[in-house]
Amino acid sequence: MDKMSVFEILPNQNDVIRLVQITDSHIFSEASGKLLGLNTRESFEAVFERINKEEWRADILLATGDLSQDASPESYQYLTQRFVQSGIQSFWLSGNHDDPDVMMEHMNEKNVSPAKLIHAGNWQIILLDSSVRDHVHGELSVDELNFLEQALSNYKDKNTIIGLHHQPVSVDCDWIDKIGLKNANELKAIVSRHKQVKAVFWGHIHQRYHQKIEGVEWIATPSTCVQFRPKSKEFSAGEEAPGYRYFYLYPDGRFETVLHRIDTLEYTVDYTVKGY
């Protein structure tokens, strides 16, 4: 697939574009699969039910990596089936637990698209693959950096948000900071040259983060399953509820974002586990 081919979404004129981000669902091939004692399909279902019941339906769903725990075809088929049932135009990118080739095979039908360049009104969404095969940390390849540079250079008049899996900033959580995006400076250099970039957003850290730096908002969204404890030196599960995030993209180039967490799930997280 040519990454530069644009997936065009036609919003109503003057309308706000509603985008929902879900991330780090860690779905297993088996329906009974658990991460730290939490059934990841159950927590995903609880999140996704909320999204589907929303009166103000999302126009676009972005799933930002670690969608599967085991990169199995079954896990991706399960997610594709859910996204198709929802009818929301859905896109995805890969995380460290994912296999981009298996995703491409099983997450490419009906309203589920592997496109990485999305236009909606005067907004552009760029989805980057920061996954590195057989490694937990992230890195943007030369191809990915070139894709980003080209998309920003070709469409200077489009307000842009950029999604990826790994965090390009330090989040004051020692163990996670070691497995973030290795070449974050290269991403930041490109972003700083293109003033139409409004936000960069990601998953991976299983906790919220939101900072505005020199006009760009840097945003992380919690996992749909287990949370990680903020400001923790060592691996530690967090006690907050699974979450997801809305972005509201306005025609005048402003955007707003709101983090939601579910409150209905019974927790069975095993806090004694020392890694994930």
Q: Where along the sequence are the contacts to Fe ion (CB under 5 A)?
A: 66, 95-96, 204
CA-CA distances (angstroms) from residue 161 to 90, 164, 255, 256? Answer: 16, 10, 10, 12
Name which of 33 and 95 has its Cβ closer to Fe ion. Answer: 95
Name which of 95 and 243 has its Cβ closer to Fe ion. Answer: 95
Q: Considering the complex, what minimum distance in angstroms separates the CB of residue 80 from Fe ion?
A: 20
Instruction: Specify which residues 197 forms β-bridges with.
Output: 160
Residues near 113 by Cβ (< 8 Å), separated by ≥ 6? Answer: 7, 89, 90, 91
Q: Considering the complex, what minimum distance in angstroms separates the CB of residue 206 from Fe ion?
A: 8
Instruction: Please state the φ and ψ torsions of residue 271, each to the nearest 5 degrees.
Output: -75, -5
Q: Considering the complex, what minimum distance in angstroms separates the CB of residue 167 from Fe ion?
A: 9
Residue with tokens 């995805």: 92
Look up residue 118 and give its two tokens: 């999305």
Name which of 130 and 160 has its Cβ closer to Fe ion. Answer: 130
Q: Considering the complex, what minimum distance in angstroms separates the CB of residue 137 from Fe ion?
A: 10
Q: Considering the complex, what minimum distance in angstroms separates the CB of residue 179 from Fe ion?
A: 8
Q: Considering the complex, what minimum distance in angstroms separates the CB of residue 129 from Fe ion?
A: 13
Pairing label, strands 209-213, 216-220: antiparallel
Max CA distance (Å), the chain: 52
Pairing label, strands 243-249, 255-261: antiparallel
Name which of 135 and 231 has its Cβ closer to Fe ion. Answer: 135
Name which of 66 and 99 has its Cβ closer to Fe ion. Answer: 66
Residue with tokens 């950096």: 145
Residues near 244 by Cβ (< 8 Å), separated by ≥ 6? Answer: 20, 21, 22, 23, 47, 50, 51, 221, 222, 224, 259, 260
Name which of 95 and 168 has its Cβ closer to Fe ion. Answer: 95
Name which of 95 and 242 has its Cβ closer to Fe ion. Answer: 95
Q: What length is written for the chain?
A: 276
Contact 36, 30 (CB under 8 A): no
Nearest to 128 by CA among 77, 166, 176: 166
Q: Considering the complex, what minimum distance in angstroms separates the CB of residue 225 from Fe ion?
A: 12
Q: Considering the complex, what minimum distance in angstroms separates the CB of residue 97 from Fe ion?
A: 6
Name which of 23 and 80 has its Cβ closer to Fe ion. Answer: 23
